[in-house]
Amino acid sequence: ITFNTQFSTISLINKVAADKGIRHKIIIMIEMGDLREGVLRESVIDFYSRVFELSNIEIVGLGTNLNCLNGVMPSYDKLIQLSLYKELLEARFNVQIPWVTAGTSVVYPMLDLGLVPAGMNHFRLGETLFFGVDLIENGPIPSMRQD
């Protein structure tokens, strides 16, 4: 499974997957304000429509990156928007998109406090899990080890 944003890259992956006789699974990133990466929100429907036409690509999720480049912090509202994109895409294209990846370690405090919307089911928490740090407060998480 790879995370992708550029249609040209996904097209190349599709060609290689076709040559190997496999279907490659992808998660497509959606830009939610941080301007790091992702399909622009106004282009989401068109972008997904084009990707769904690729016979050796299987879309298994959508996601976003927050607080990676320009300090746009995750919020309940941002994550609800991401969840709504999933619902919109599933209804529009009559597909199931199993994963919504809500962000990186910066989302951990919301997750720990139960403030993440129910539709979020995948998190990329490597830094928090490996180092036991809270990236929002820039300090250790007491219930985790820092060694």
For residue 103, what pLDDT is reported? 76
CA distances from 147 to 123, 127, 128, 130, 140 (A): 22, 12, 12, 8, 11
User: Per DSSP, what are the bridge partners of residue 101?
Assistant: 63, 122
What tens digit of pLDDT does each residue of 12-46 get?
999 999 999 999 999 999 987 666 677 888 899 99
**How far is 38 from 62, CA to CA, in rounded Å?**
10
Topology of domain 2-104+115-124 in CATH is TIM Barrel (3.20.20)
Token pair belonging to 99: 């994963």
- Predicted TM-score (pTM) of the model is 0.83
